[in-house]
Amino acid sequence: MSFLIRRNSTAGDFGGFGGIYLDGTENDLFIGKPGASNVWSLENRGGGGLAQSNYTATVGQTTRLVLRIQVQNAAEAFALYVDPSTEQEPVSPSVRKVDLNIGQLTDIVLYTSGDFSYDEIRFGDTFASVTAVPEPSALALALVSMTGLSCVAAFRRKSLPRTAKKESTARVD
């Protein structure tokens, strides 16, 4: 899963936390900026089990957070990547958390007491499927389509018959 998150200000109760939590039948995992810290982190929802990255949640900066979940017997292994630069999974995550069993996932919740914006929430079964950017060919196709429509509109304007102006023949003495 991945999402874009932007910390808009330092406002908010309980340290101005903001992120997404995975609501499980056993426990809940919070992904984002916790109230007790100013860095992007993983923690048990409500505090505890804090695993911090080295990346500050800077006001006014949009950040892509990518979460990889590896299901295991006793506890899941969570890997958080902060602003990965490629569609290839980096060798090391920004932070790991391996001490939490969420059980079955029941809900995904946008969770904040602060001033945060969210965008592009993605789910997929590969790293590339949640970090991919639109291919240039799609942008090029859209540009060609818009150019074609503009040409058709211009052609239609030129080929429409023009009405002749009637000159006034009235005389004023």
Q: Give the pLDDT confidence score for residue 114 in this predicted structure.
A: 87
Helical ranges in 99-170 per DSSP H: 127-131, 136-159
Measure the CA–CA gap between 39 and 107, rounded to whole angstroms. Answer: 24
Task: Report residues of the chain scoring pLDDT below 70.
Answer: 133-173
Q: Give the pLDDT confidence score for residue 123 in this predicted structure.
A: 93
Supply angle C-alpha 8, 37, 112, rounded to 5.
Answer: 45
Exposure of 151 in the CB half-sphere (CA atoms within 13 A): 6
Q: Give the pLDDT confidence score for residue 168 in this predicted structure.
A: 46
Instruction: Encode pLDDT of 88-104 as tens digits.
Output: 888 899 999 999 999 99
Average pLDDT of the chain, as a whole number = 83
Q: Give the pLDDT confidence score for residue 61 in this predicted structure.
A: 96
Q: Give the pLDDT confidence score for residue 85 in this predicted structure.
A: 84
pTM of the complete model: 0.74
Judge whether 27 and 76 are in contact, CB under 8 Å: no
Q: Give the pLDDT confidence score for residue 140 in this predicted structure.
A: 55
Q: Give the pLDDT confidence score for residue 119 in this predicted structure.
A: 94
